Amino acid sequence: MNKQEILKMGLSTNGKEKNSAIAISGFNVWINDVHILNNINLHIPNKKITCIIGPSGGGKSTLIRSINRINDEVPDMTIKGNIQFNGKPIYAPSIDVANLRTQIGMVFQKPCVFPKSIKENVLFGVQHLKKIDKHERLQLTEENLKAASLWKEVAHRLNDKASSLSLGQQQRLCIARTLAVKPQIILLDEPTSSLDPVSARAIENMMLELKEQYTIVFVTHNIQQAKRIADHLVFICEGKIIEQGAATKIFAKPSHPQTRAYLNDEFCEC
Ligand SMILES: Nc1ncnc2c1ncn2[C@@H]1O[C@H](COP(=O)(O)OP(=O)(O)OP(=O)(O)O)[C@@H](O)[C@H]1O
Ligand SMILES: [Mg+2]
């Protein structure tokens, strides 16, 4: 990012982020000695949608899974560099990882509902965090299903099994469950890739509403989808950030030939 782009994003240029929720600097990941992420430098702006695009195997999932430390479970992984959340290093020994994950929620490619009712799924995470009475349970269920644009479809069947919902509804339920914990950031790894176009659009529209309250990081292979929702765009190829910046600018005039090739659906050699 050049200085002008940094200023346009509302960030300061002295290395201290003014308006970024996440600041990643010199971040590297090796798995089994294979260099998966190579010197990643990235600011994720607050209350905007950042879309991460790039060829398969380029490191998109590894990057977002590093942001809430889900990657900690990967054996033989080595990391170097820094990821800061609200100005604090998330890999510091003093960080409470469970607490970090309540503030940085994640939605996966395939909807992952628990074998419980729709209502129990919404409340699954939040009830571990605080004691909630019957009235609050209903209130939280309604509030979060509404935020995830699912309420109208399920209001009459909250005690039905979550697995009885369609895939698109299950994915919205997973989003409701994530929202119920009140995170600051929502990471989504190809959340619509297993859904039909109508369900995918419902999730896109929801993201556009949710960005007023949340910082959203959205991995997608779908360039048209990124065009519709991204404020900030990051293009990753073979573990490196090739280009990042305002989405409208990159879509109109990418600076790098690799980005141009990828956006034009051509073979991209990084
Ligand atoms: N647990 C793991 N063990 C070994 N290698 C891994 C592991 N996780 C990821 N990798 C490797 O890291 C590289 C990046 O994978 P990653 O899943 O981050 O890519 P991606 O950009 O998300 O790809 P896709 O678009 O296909 O989802 C790949 O070569 C992958 O095989
Ligand atoms: Mg992936």
Q: Is the CB of 77 under 6 A from ligand 1?
A: no
Question: For residue 35, is it within any domain?
Answer: no
* pTM, rounded to two decimals: 0.91
Q: Is the CB of 132 under 6 A from ligand 1?
A: no
> CB within 8 A of 203, min separation 6: which ones?
168, 171, 172, 175, 191, 192, 195
- Alpha-carbon distance 177 to 175, whole Å? 5
Residue 190 confidence (pLDDT): 96
Question: For residue 229, is it within any domain?
Answer: yes
Question: For residue 203, is it within any domain?
Answer: yes
The ligand with the least distance to the CA atom of 65 is 1
Residue 5 confidence (pLDDT): 47
Residue 9 confidence (pLDDT): 45
Residue 236 confidence (pLDDT): 97
Number of domains, the chain = 1
Instruction: Look up residue 49 and give its two tokens.
Output: 């949608």
- Alpha-carbon distance 192 to 141, whole Å? 23
122-173: pLDDT as tens digits = 999 999 888 899 999 999 999 999 999 999 999 999 999 999 999 999 999 9
Mean pLDDT by 10 residues, the chain (270 residues): 46 52 97 97 96 96 97 94 95 94 94 96 92 94 94 97 96 95 96 90 94 97 96 97 97 95 82
Atom in ligand 1 nearest the alpha carbon of residue 59:
18
Q: Are 134 and 173 in contact (CB under 8 A)?
A: no
CATH number at residue 186: 3.40.50.300
Question: For residue 201, is it within any domain?
Answer: yes
Would you say the C-alpha torsion 119, 194, 200, 240 has a positive or negative sign? positive
HSE (CB half, 13 Å, CA atoms) of 171?
24
The ligand with the least distance to the CA atom of 38 is 1
Tell me the best of 61, 78, 235 to mutate to test the pocket of ligand 1, counting ligand atoms within 8 Å of each CB and taking the most.
61
Tell me how far the alpha carbon of residue 170 lies from the centroid of ligand 1, in angstroms.
25
Atom in ligand 1 nearest the alpha carbon of residue 221:
25
Residue 128 confidence (pLDDT): 85
Pairing mode, if any, of strands 185-189 and 104-107?
parallel
Question: For residue 155, is it within any domain?
Answer: yes
Question: For residue 103, is it within any domain?
Answer: yes
Q: Is the CB of 244 under 6 A from ligand 1?
A: no
Residue 112 confidence (pLDDT): 93
Range of the domain at 59: 47-69+96-263
Question: For residue 213, is it within any domain?
Answer: yes
Please, is 110 exposed, middle or buried when counting C-beta atoms within 10 Å of its C-beta (0-12, 13-18, 19+)? middle
Residue 269 confidence (pLDDT): 74
Q: Is the CB of 36 under 6 A from ligand 1?
A: yes
